[in-house]
């Protein structure tokens, strides 16, 4: 297994892992999560399929610079662009949630760096529910409120997993244990990431300018970013492909890894 490396890019430190050989795939993770989340399922599948896979920690997630003074989405897009240039891009880019939003903006701003893009559980505009949840998360942090661990695990599972997953008692217990073991991330860098959601704009019209081949994947049971939001993004991007993964919540790439991996690899194989 490749060890993490660091590089000074775009004025900050970026920690990344580079493994495999073949066409370059850069994977962009969502809010509050490190790049190693991809290592459970997607990274091994892509390496097996003949790709060089780079995962990294977005700014806000140590050991990359936490940038606690705050930053904009454009900074995260520029970070990703600088990393791809550092790696000798262009690249095939895969993102989920906030990482998918970064991927969309990168494909728009730097088409020279994006050979093709996959966006999982994505969105292109704020909604009242997204704004309310985000505001609540920021307020919990700012008031230094820590939820009871068992309740935090249950709430996280409810928001991010499919009801089909949680309907099985053993599966539900396993997920509650995993989430509980992961703890509650309360770093200042994550708080800076959460602040991004207070300044969201409707970008759907702008996405008509994306020219790279794109695959947009919605998760049918996603409560955090419902699949209709992903469909809006697919509809906005000319010639984008869209598919829905059933029995999957916001963590669909972990809940249904075989189907998600097949979709990613199948799409990238056509555009490598």
Catalytic residue (one of 15, 57, 221, 250): 250
Q: Please report, for the chain, the start and end positions of each structural domain, with discontinuous segments joined by +.
A: 5-126+201-269, 130-182
Catalytic (active site) residue 250: yes
> Using CA atoms, how far apart are residues 219 and 217, in angstroms rounded to an integer?
7
Q: Is 174 a catalytic residue?
A: no
A 10 A CB-CB count for 62 gives 14
- Concatenating the DSSP letter of every residue in 233-260 gives HHHHSTT-EEEEESS--TTHHHHSHHHH
152-153-158-163 Cα dihedral, nearest 10 degrees? -170
> Cis link prior to 63 (omega < 30° from 0)?
yes
Q: State percent of the chain over pLDDT 70.
A: 99
Span 27-50, pLDDT tens digits: 999 998 999 999 999 999 999 999
Indicate whether 107 pLDDT > 90: yes
Q: 86 vs 32, which has greater pLDDT?
A: 86
Report the range of poorest mean pLDDT among 63-67, 117-121, 130-134, 247-251.
130-134
Is the predicted pLDDT of residue 2 greater than 80, yes or no? no
Among residues 15, 97, 134, 162, which one is catalytic?
97
Convert the pLDDT of each residue in 184-200 to its tens digit. Answer: 777 899 999 999 987 88
- pLDDT per residue over 229-261, tens digit each? 999 999 999 989 999 999 999 999 999 999 999
Could you tell me the pTM of the whole model? Answer: 0.95
Section 69-73 average pLDDT: 94
Bridge partners of 199? none
* Cα-based angle 206, 207, 211 (whole degrees, multiple of 5): 125
Task: Tell the burial category of 87 from Cβ atoms under 10 Å away from its Cβ (0-12, 13-18, 19+).
Answer: middle
3-state secondary structure of 87: coil
Catalytic residue among 75, 79, 221, 222: 222
In CATH, the number for domain 5-126+201-269 is 3.40.50.1820
| pLDDT score at 1 | 61
For residue 265, pLDDT beyond 80: yes
Residue 222 known to be catalytic: yes
């Amino acid at each position: 297994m490749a060890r993490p490396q660091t590089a000074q890019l775009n004025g900050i430190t970026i920690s990344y892992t580079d493994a495999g050989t073949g066409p370059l795939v850069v994977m962009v993770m969502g809010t509050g999560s490190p790049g190693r989340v991809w290592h459970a399922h997607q990274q091994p599948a892509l390496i097996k399929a003949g790709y060089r896979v780079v995962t990294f920690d977005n700014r806000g997630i140590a050991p990359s610079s936490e940038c606690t003074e705050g930053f904009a989405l454009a900074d995260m897009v520029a970070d990703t662009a600088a990393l791809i240039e550092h790696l000798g891009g262009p690249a095939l880019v895969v993102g989920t949630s906030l990482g998918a939003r970064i991927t969309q903006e990168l494909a728009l701003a730097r088409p020279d760096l994006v050979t093709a893009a996959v966006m999982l559980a994505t969105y292109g505009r704020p909604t009242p529910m997204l704004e309310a949840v985000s505001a609540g998360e920021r307020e919990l942090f700012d008031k230094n409120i820590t939820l009871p661990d068992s309740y935090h695990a249950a709430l996280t599972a409810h928001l991010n997993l499919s009801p089909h997953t949680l309907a099985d008692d053993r599966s539900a217990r396993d997920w509650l244990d995993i989430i509980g073991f992961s703890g509650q991330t309360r770093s200042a860098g994550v708080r800076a990431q959460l602040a991004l959601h207070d300044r969201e704009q409707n970008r759907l019209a702008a996405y008509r300018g994306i020219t790279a081949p794109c695959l947009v994947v919605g998760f049918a049971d996603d409560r955090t970013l419902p699949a209709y939001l992903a469909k809006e993004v697919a509809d906005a991007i000319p010639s984008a492909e869209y598919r829905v993964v059933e029995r999957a919540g916001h963590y669909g790439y972990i809940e249904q890894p075989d189907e998600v991996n097949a979709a990613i690899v199948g799409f990238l194989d056509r555009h490598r």
